[in-house]
Amino acid sequence: MTQTIKSGHKTTSGFSLPVFTNDEIKTLHEATLEILEKTGVKVESDEALEIFHGAGAEVESAGNENHGKTGIVKLSGHLVEACIKSTPGDITYHGRKPEHSYRISQGHVGFSTFGECIRVIDPQTRQIGPSSKAALGKASLLVDYLDQISVLERPMGSLEKPADTQPLHNFEAMVSNTSKHIFMGCNSKENVRKIFELASVCMGGAEKFKEKPIVTAFVTPTSPLELVKNCCDVIIECAKSGVGVAPISMVLSGATAPATLAGAIIQHNAEVLSAIALAQLTKKGSHCTYASSSTIMDLRFSTPAVGAPEYGIISAGLSKLARFYDLPSWVGGGHSDSKLPDAQAAYEASLTATVSALSGANFIYGAGCLESGLTFDFAKLLMDSELFNNIYKVLKGIEINKETLALDLIREAGPAGEFLTRQHTFDHMRQMSTSSLFDRRNREKWMEVTEGKDLTTRAYEEANHILKTHKPLELPKGAAKEMKDIIKDYETDVLKG
């Protein structure tokens, strides 16, 4: 089981980013409660409305002949805070391989891929094309290899497969190529049930999967302030089954949320907390990961700006709110609006990933992402992973004690002395940062070793090498065929229906 270092924790040395004062956090929380109690959230699910009403929420419902009941749900501050309190703060995200299970508590920082890209740059031809199940499998294999990536979010979709059953193909491609925990969207309660069936096959039975769920389901509140039917269905189904959900709002400041960052943050907070409340009211103690894909809308081009500094700022602010609630956080960082893995991609990814990490976010996702989340690139995933190594080094800060001050050593070396051959240097040199893809050689040695190839070229070559040589943990005997049979039968039923 892995557990990463901490950031932004008052009892841990290291660098961190305060973001808000305690009074500002309280103000944001109280503003959120006011939204939930006075404005409310639109809910498009009969079952969800009944759950909310049964818990004492105010429900203003109205019939809808085509889609059943819809209603505005207003949640009291007391009810919301009770739901937050019942949500676990320390969670283990189980992998098929025990060493790949990932346990977090407040302050531990991990990284993951972006999802769900619809295009992919082929690492061999470098040509861009639609994402596919095969490409998703390759990306999952690369994530399985990379120690810097803690869990796998579905980085792209199996777009050649039927839309209604695509999540099943996504899960099959991922679980066959990694033993790390999987985050993904399921889109419907029927898909949820089938994906859990697939996961049970991969874990050696339903009871083993129930004991150690290897998947977390993303659910997406619709901005502004709406829980549509499929979102509610997935939340309820996961809660009943004991599987975690990650409510991930995607507010666009200036379009689907206020143009001010504070306004966007409290609207996002209200949307996520309403989804968490539904999970807790369905089954107290359900695992919930507080998630965000919120940013600004670049109103000049009508595009979401995931490489913008505001993306990192919003992520940092929301990670602090999640910490205030003692909830695990999943926020953006490492994305880019660039179309290629170039200098723009590097600058944008570095800024947002570092800001999010310094805020103490538990998961920072965006590795491999280009073109505002539309395109996945294998070279960028590798370059991002090296960036994450450097961010971890920054998070550790500067340790101060007798050993690190090295007064005796400095006295022993004296003026005009040297430190290269000292035992103290040998003892501590492996604590210094190193690089792999990022080159630190002098120019002559660089030319000799790399033949003058730039970073991007070397990253593509390394990605291709890993894809050829890395072998993931095998599935249980017969699991691969059983998954294919389950998907085939389900797909036949769905297409007939």
Q: For 166-218, what is each residue's pLDDT tens digit?
A: 999 999 999 999 999 999 999 999 999 999 999 999 999 999 999 999 999 99
* pLDDT given for residue 8 in this prediction: 44
Overall average pLDDT of the 400-407 stretch: 95
Q: For 259-313, what is each residue's pLDDT tens digit?
A: 999 999 999 999 999 999 999 999 999 999 999 999 999 999 999 999 999 999 9
User: Where are the domains positioned within the chain?
Assistant: 1-398+433-497, 406-431
* pLDDT given for residue 10 in this prediction: 39
Q: Tell me the CA distances in angstroms from 20 to 24, 231, 306, 321, 323, one per residue in order.
A: 6, 31, 22, 9, 12
Q: For 20-42, what is each residue's pLDDT tens digit?
A: 999 999 999 999 999 999 999 99
Q: For 346-384, what is each residue's pLDDT tens digit?
A: 999 999 999 999 999 999 999 999 999 999 999 999 999
Q: For 219-265, what is each residue's pLDDT tens digit?
A: 999 999 999 999 999 999 999 999 999 999 999 999 999 999 999 99
What percent of the chain has a predicted confidence (pLDDT) above 70? 96
Q: Residue 22 CB: number of other CB atoms within 10 A?
A: 9
Q: Residue 270 CB: number of other CB atoms within 10 A?
A: 26
Residue linked to tokens 């295009």: 119
pLDDT mean across residues, the chain: 94
Residue 67 has pLDDT above 70, yes or no: no
* pLDDT given for residue 14 in this prediction: 80
CATH of span 1-398+433-497 = 3.20.20.480
At 63, is the pLDDT very low, low, confident or very high (cuts 50, 70, 90)?
low
pTM for this one? 0.93
Overall average pLDDT of the 105-115 stretch: 86
User: Which burial class, exposed, middle or buried, applies to 116 when counting CB atoms under 10 A from its CB (0-12, 13-18, 19+)?
Assistant: buried
Question: Helix 229-241 vs helix 261-282: angle between axes, to the nearest 10 degrees?
Answer: 50
